[in-house]
Copies of this chain bind each other. A is one copy, B any other.
């Protein structure tokens, strides 16, 4: 791609701080937390749970932001766009993005809802019950969309989660149109099977604008109303886009037109916490695409990044991915 591309990927996503507490199962009952799933909550409930969490651990999260952290860990140049408020959690998010080396300059809002947080109750069995207050992340707007930054990236990456916030969705659609006019490829992740219930038709209508579609098997089945994986594969093949389909322990399938690659998962000694597996897969895959790798190698790099993140607690890499990928002969 052209010299004018100073960044590999620019991502639009929710700027969320993960707030983690280790709790007993009884805590979930007392506080009416649905175990093992992600629930959207309001500000009142967020404040209530935050109080109950005692002395929680706070780390920057958010799906696309996690992906950008993974890309940075691989050595790519990335830029993140997502909304915080100028409050304590917002500052924490800014600091963490700076630590990863990702460019991040979306102005924090001075008023309105607080910085988004995901209150995660970790039970002794390792399950994570997530309560997400989207807050300021919903306030990302078309005014935050900078044409120059999109044009300067090889790929624009957008998380489907943003469709839950009307303003952020409008900003995403504007960004997509700019990307298409700027020679920037458009990548999109379906994010969560539940989103298909709310936005299936919108996502289907979006497909012709995409260059890369990320989806796990459940999300893709929901999007294409397919009963099995092969039906998904047959549905994506006529698309003009690369489909990068993740299948947990079954690995991934990457397809574009005549090309189909079936790539195994990278084995891990013990799966500790699957949070962020899809985010890191996208990081590895996008690194490969923006560095001229073929689809099979993109899939292998995605699988390697996912394997790293599921082998420990937390949604961002602990071991530098660049080092891991080099050892595996993928760089």
Contacts and interface: CB of A to CB of B under 8 A. Distances in A.
Nearest to A295: B230
A288 to B, nearest CB: 14
A256 to B, nearest CB: 12
Contact of A263 (B230, B260, B261): B230
A230 B252 CA distance: 11
Contacts of A261: 230, 233-234
When all copies of this chain in the complex are counted, the total is 2
Interface string A30-54: 0000000000000000000000000
A22 interface: no
A220 B303 CA distance: 23
A230 B295 CA distance: 11
A258 B264 CA distance: 21
A244 to B, nearest CB: 14
24 contacts: A228-B263, A228-B264, A229-B262, A229-B263, A229-B264, A230-B261, A230-B262, A230-B263, A230-B264, A230-B296, A230-B299, A231-B296, A233-B260, A233-B261, A233-B262, A234-B261, A234-B296, A250-B250, A250-B251, A253-B262, A255-B260, A258-B258, A260-B260, A262-B262
Q: Which 4 A-B pairs have the closest CB atoms?
A: A260-B260, A230-B261, A230-B296, A230-B263
